[in-house]
Amino acid sequence: MAMNGSLLSPTQIELMGTEAKSAERSIRISWYHLGVVGWSVLDCISAFVAVLVACWLSPVYDFWRGTIPTDPNFSPFRVAAGYALIFAMISHVFGLQNPLMRRQKSVMIVKYVSVAALAITLAAVIELMVSYTRIGRHILVYAFLLSS
């Protein structure tokens, strides 16, 4: 409401008792921009799929039983879910989901490789400390290569 009690038109806003016209944006916002939440969800899904494919590509993984014969407590879905959450969190910390970040190719490659290496290391350590199971070296290498 304006100071005189009349309603403002849709093109005007009231700022601390004074009327001002709304400014038009000089840059059009893309309808395809996902935002931080959208990129986080996309990172989670891609990291989850990367670990599942890495488990499937591993030579010791038994696809029909859904586990590794030497470690029956190994669950690829638990590892994939943990890695997906860790990957999304670390990529957010590194700023990969920030739309205002500079997009230099060499800097982005270093950040992606760093995020993948740190996430796979943390996932292996957390899986070892929480579930007392080890993730095989083939799965770790394949997951690193697929997610970086």
> How confident is the model over 88-118, as pLDDT tens digits?
999 989 888 777 777 788 888 898 899 999 9
Task: Please report which confidence band the pLDDT of residue 58 belongs to, taking 50, 70 and 90 as the band edges.
Answer: confident
User: Residue 1 pLDDT more than 70?
Assistant: no
Please tell me the predicted confidence (pLDDT) of residue 38: 84
How far, CA to CA in Å, does 32 sit from each of 38, 65, 105? Answer: 10, 41, 22
Residue 59: per-residue pLDDT: 82
Quote the mean pLDDT of the chain: 78
How do residues 15-56 score in pLDDT, each as one tens digit? 455 555 555 555 555 566 677 788 889 999 999 999 999 988
- Tens-digit pLDDT profile for residues 63-82: 666 667 667 677 888 889 99
**Cβ contact 119:148 at 8 Å:** no
Q: Please, which pLDDT band fits residue 6 given cuts at 50, 70 and 90?
A: low
